[in-house]
Structure 1
Amino acid sequence: MSPAPTDRRALVAVDLGAESCRVSLLRWSDGKAEIQLVHRFLNGPIERETGLHWPLAKIIDGVEEGLRKCAPLAPEGVRSIAIDGWAVDYVRLDENGQALAEPFCYRDERNVRAEVELHKRISALRMREITGIEQLPLNTLYQLYADRLSGTPEARWLNLPEYLLARWGAEPVAEFTNATHTQLVDMDSRNWSREIFREAGLNIELAAKIVPPGTLLGKLQGPLAQLPVFADTELIAPACHDTASAIAGIPAAGDDWAYISSGTWSLVGTVTSLPVDGPNVREDSFSNLGGVGNMNCFHKNVNGMWLMKQCQNAWAALGHEPSISDLLHDAEHEPVPQMLLDVDEPDLLRVGEMPQRINRQLVAKGSQPLDEAPTNAPAFTALIMHSLARRYAETLTRIQKHTGKVIRRIYIVGGGSQNTFLNRLTAEATGFAVHRGSPESSTIGNFAVQLATLESELPASSMEFAHAVREWSLHLNPPS
């Protein structure tokens, strides 16, 4: 791989987030890549009469505004655009490929009933055997079944990143990493499960063709393509799921490393060549999800900074609003807690009253509750950080047992990678070297997949392609 491509046109990466969306521009200067965040806008679901929905028009307008802002910054032209984002939610399409309605948000309550009703037709155990992933009511399968229960007419559908690409002229596809989050993919064949579609009464012909990350989908069309910089722009399916994209942005070689995608929630896992499954894996609720180069992301959902956010909301309601950086600084000077939390206890996943929920668990464990006065926030913070680090260590121990790997390094990516206190506690709890990745690792991974696609002739589903992506990630995000 050359240090820089011969085609020095710019690249654009779009990251759709449930709280904010970003449009970033990569340009070349003296053979080095320079990445600039060009546009960011807030996002969030909106309660409508029909339920909780995403404001699709606002998302489209925000992303396209970002692309227009890129135009004057890249007079050399834009070579390609790729989009990653959150998984599971989808847009239903009419016969012309236009959106029939705003997409539902995965948090909508309709999914709870759909999960219960669907498991009367196909058991949770059988579903797990086929897909190899943790079953969550937010998964696409339950949402599609909720459509069926409500009498909504069947229609073609695309997940959000693939929908935006198709809107701009791309071939309508289901990108592999995103597809594996639908709970509709057979982990062995790595294609749509005909059994699940049949048992759920869903039409498999309405699902798009699954393609690997790194697939060229056609040229940008429509009004944006009238801008000179976008006159010859390729549309690429990256790792459309943002976590898979973030993992692709980790420039790690070898087989002795694990990752923690750290944010509101934590995904603790490692990359394997094949899915890992069995009764013990299922009992531990690990998932096998798609990765770049047909690799497998074997990980578990663990609670994360959700606990802190909920505590901060509770303290803010009482007029106490310290910054997270101040809380973490003060927490480092607190004594080590004698009793730690089970951070994945269902009660701690709920909204509101988090200090009270934490104390209820402490009391149930036979420990003294913490003073809930906002001035005692550093003690709560210390308890949460120590508890998360222990949970990470427990999860990594199980990962080694299930995969047979010997882990020596952890790469922490996402917004939580900047939490030096938690990083230190994680290193102490695990005994592993902790490397802080980029907080924008999904953007790095997005660009790396684009470059590997454009600069190599490797099959996108090959391990060699995964290696090429890693090399580009290293070029874009060299060790400090």
Structure 2
Amino acid sequence: MSLLRLQQGQPQIQVMHRFPNGPIATQDGLRWDIGRIFDGVKDGLRLCADAAPEGIASVGVDGWAVDYVRLDENGEALADPFCHRDERTQGAEKKVHEIISPSRLYSLTGIQLLGLNTLYQLYADKLAGGRPGTFWLNLPEYVTYRLGGRRVAEYTNATHTQLVGLGGQEWCEEIFESLGLDISAAPKIVPSGSIVGSIGGDLSKLPALRGTKLIVPACHDTASAIAAIPASGEDWAFISSGTWSLVGTVLKSPCVGDQAREMNFTNLGGAGRSICFLKNVNGMWLLRQCMDEWEERGSAISLSALLQECEALPAPDYLIDVDDPPLTRPGGTLGKINAQLQRAGRRTFSAERRNIPVIANLIFHGMAERYAEVLRSIATITAKRLKRLFIVGGGGKNFLLNRLTAERTGLEVLLGSTESTTLGNFAIQMATLQGSWNETTGVAASAVARWAEEIAEPVFEEARNRETV
């Protein structure tokens, strides 16, 4: 959690609080401890209130997409929410496509077919006998609601559910009706930058949080990160690099032609009603899974040490498919990589310490090549002549992957802040507080861009000075 203050007109950002978070394997599936997450948010807000006794104008919550909390009749969480990596959606995806064809789904929503999307999770709930009509909220909006806000679905986050009509701000009735899902259980969609209430409960007793507005930024963290990129023109693309790598470009309207559908690109909502035309690529989560396995086997290694060892290795003579479906699910990742190598008739690797950098090198080269493939497809589909590639998010700290990406794409790579989501979140809040908001488009894209440049450009400049790729 971060705090933005303007000191003599200059933006200053301070990270106030972090807490670990991850899905928990339970007898009822892979779930998030939502109570612990909310307690962590409240702890962070108390620290912000102590640091800013002059008062905090607004709070905005963003996070990962697709997962949601079911509410009871009193507005309380029925249970800890499922994690999108839980295996329950595998059967649901097939059954959904028996009712609505993949091509029809794409024409209705423009969203890539991913079994983790909210659409398939809601249908999995139905197959499991879930109570119909139970209200639900995506996670960032749930936290906002618990802080005192209204029950809403912010536009950018709503589009990732695969339940919003193409290019609009309404739920797609055809999908809900065809699948027998209750549309009345879905929250009202509101534009990015909407003020949805004020801090309530015990936090409102803190002087700094009295009357503090609750603003939904781009609640999908990727959309907030993209909003922070201080770029203009049509010659740039982005990689929001984290657990997932989201590779794409920004468009003014959805792109849903045959090529986009066949290549399974998505048209996610962006700040100011822009379109983030992108594709999910398995990200740093893949390496994290391997590092956890190595640690369990007594061979723990830091990322910095691993990168140094990998840098001394030559390029592998074979590239793994980092988007191989088994590699997107938790557990046994080293074995899954070896299984892929074995199917291709390639050498497999034991768990010995000497093989750790070799496996990591396979992952990094595989990721860079996948980035290049996706970017070539984007250039073909959109007819854009891409020259610049902005890398934002925590994965931007991986200097080796950045270099490999530059080599394989041939683009000028510009490194942004590892906290780009925070910067975009702030830019949207500032634009709203300055009056650049309306009920149709939400916060104005031009105003967000101005604030993003003011807040983010020094950070991008600092990144360029640290390292040139």
TM-score of the aligned structures, taking structure 2 as reference length: 0.92
Partner of 1:434: 413
Partner of 1:61: 39
Partner of 1:381: 360
1:73 aligns with 2:51: yes
CA distance change for structure 1 residues 102 and 362 in 2, over 3 Å: closer, same or farther?
closer
SS at match of 1:39: coil
Q: How does 1:326-337 map to 2 (within 5 A)?
A: 326-337=305-316
Letter in 2 for 1:408: K
In 1: Cα distance, 2:335 partner to 2:130 partner: 41
Letter in 1 for 2:130: T
Listed one character per residue, the Cα deviations across residues 107-161 of structure 1 (whole Å, up to 9, x for unaligned) are 3333223223333322222212211112222221222222222332222221111
CA distance change for structure 1 residues 121 and 367 in 2, over 3 Å: closer, same or farther?
closer
**Among residues 270, 284, 287, which one is paired with 1:305 in the alignment?**
284
**Among residues 174, 180, 185, which one is paired with 2:164 in the alignment?**
185
Q: How does 1:208-223 map to 2 (within 5 A)?
A: 208-223=187-202
Letter in 2 for 1:109: E
Partner of 1:133: 111
Partner of 2:183: 204
Q: Is the 8 A contact 1:213 1:460 kept in 2?
A: no
Give the deviation of 1:104 after TM superposition: 2.4
SS at match of 2:395: helix
**Among residues 246, 250, 257, which one is paired with 2:229 in the alignment?**
250
CA distance change for structure 1 residues 400 and 347 in 2, over 3 Å: closer, same or farther?
same
1:467 aligns with 2:446: yes
Letter in 2 for 1:175: E
- Structure 1: where are the runs of 5+ without partners? 1-22
In 2: Cα distance, 1:30 partner to 1:394 partner: 46
1:170 aligns with 2:149: yes
Q: Is the 8 A contact 2:106 2:256 kept in 1?
A: no
Letter in 1 for 2:388: R
Q: Is the 8 A contact 2:89 2:120 kept in 1?
A: yes
SS at match of 1:334: coil
Q: Is the 8 A contact 1:214 1:460 kept in 2?
A: no
In 2: Cα distance, 1:220 partner to 1:431 partner: 48
Partner of 2:465: none
In 1: Cα distance, 2:285 partner to 2:22 partner: 16
**Among residues 257, 270, 275, which one is paired with 1:291 in the alignment?**
270
Partner of 1:236: 215
Q: Is the 8 A contact 1:356 1:372 kept in 2?
A: no
Letter in 1 for 2:455: L
**Among residues 8, 12, 17, which one is paired with 1:39 in the alignment?**
17
In 1: Cα distance, 2:328 partner to 2:40 partner: 31
Give the deviation of 1:278 after TM superposition: 2.0
Letter in 2 for 1:111: T
* Number of residue pairs aligned between Structure 1 and Structure 2: 458
Partner of 2:425: 446
In 1: Cα distance, 2:99 partner to 2:151 partner: 30
Q: Is the 8 A contact 2:428 2:443 kept in 1?
A: no
In 1: Cα distance, 2:321 partner to 2:26 partner: 35
**Among residues 97, 100, 109, which one is paired with 2:87 in the alignment?**
109
SS at match of 2:99: coil
Give the deviation of 1:372 after TM superposition: 5.2
Give the deviation of 1:355 after TM superposition: 4.2
Give the deviation of 1:246 after TM superposition: 1.0
In 1: Cα distance, 2:91 partner to 2:140 partner: 27
Give the deviation of 1:374 after TM superposition: 1.7
CA distance change for structure 1 residues 134 and 469 in 2, over 3 Å: closer, same or farther?
same
**Among residues 420, 433, 455, which one is paired with 1:476 in the alignment?**
455
In 1: Cα distance, 2:72 partner to 2:65 partner: 21
Partner of 2:298: 319
CA distance change for structure 1 residues 54 and 305 in 2, over 3 Å: closer, same or farther?
closer
Q: How does 1:82-161 map to 2 (within 5 A)?
A: 82-153=60-131, 154-161=133-140
Give the deviation of 1:469 after TM superposition: 1.1
In 1: Cα distance, 2:185 partner to 2:343 partner: 49
**Among residues 306, 321, 334, which one is paired with 1:342 in the alignment?**
321
Q: Is the 8 A contact 1:292 1:461 kept in 2?
A: no
70-79 or 127-136: bigger deviation: 127-136
In 1: Cα distance, 2:425 partner to 2:316 partner: 40
% of aligned pairs identical? 53
Letter in 2 for 1:79: A
Partner of 1:276: 255
In 2: Cα distance, 1:378 partner to 1:196 partner: 46
Partner of 2:29: 51
Q: Is the 8 A contact 2:272 2:445 kept in 1?
A: yes
Letter in 2 for 1:280: Q
Letter in 2 for 1:107: R
CA distance change for structure 1 residues 380 and 212 in 2, over 3 Å: closer, same or farther?
same
161-170 or 354-363: bigger deviation: 354-363
SS at match of 1:192: coil
In 1: Cα distance, 2:300 partner to 2:104 partner: 47
397-406 or 60-69: bigger deviation: 60-69
Listed one character per residue, the Cα deviations across residues 46-72 of structure 1 (whole Å, up to 9, x for unaligned) are 344443332222122111111111111
Q: Is the 8 A contact 1:259 1:270 kept in 2?
A: yes
294-303 or 328-337: bigger deviation: 328-337
Letter in 2 for 1:142: Y
Cα root mean square deviation, aligned = 2.1
Q: Is the 8 A contact 2:85 2:329 kept in 1?
A: no
Letter in 2 for 1:287: T
In 2: Cα distance, 1:57 partner to 1:398 partner: 42
Letter in 2 for 1:130: L
Listed one character per residue, the Cα deviations across residues 377-401 of structure 1 (whole Å, up to 9, x for unaligned) are 2232223222221211111000011
- Structure with the bigger percentage of strand: 1
In 2: Cα distance, 1:299 partner to 1:192 partner: 21
Listed one character per residue, the Cα deviations across residues 255-283 of structure 1 (whole Å, up to 9, x for unaligned) are 11111111232111011111111222122
Listed one character per residue, the Cα deviations across residues 225-263 of structure 1 (whole Å, up to 9, x for unaligned) are 121111121110100011111111111122111111112
In 1: Cα distance, 2:86 partner to 2:350 partner: 35
Q: Is the 8 A contact 1:293 1:461 kept in 2?
A: no
Partner of 2:467: none
SS at match of 1:216: strand
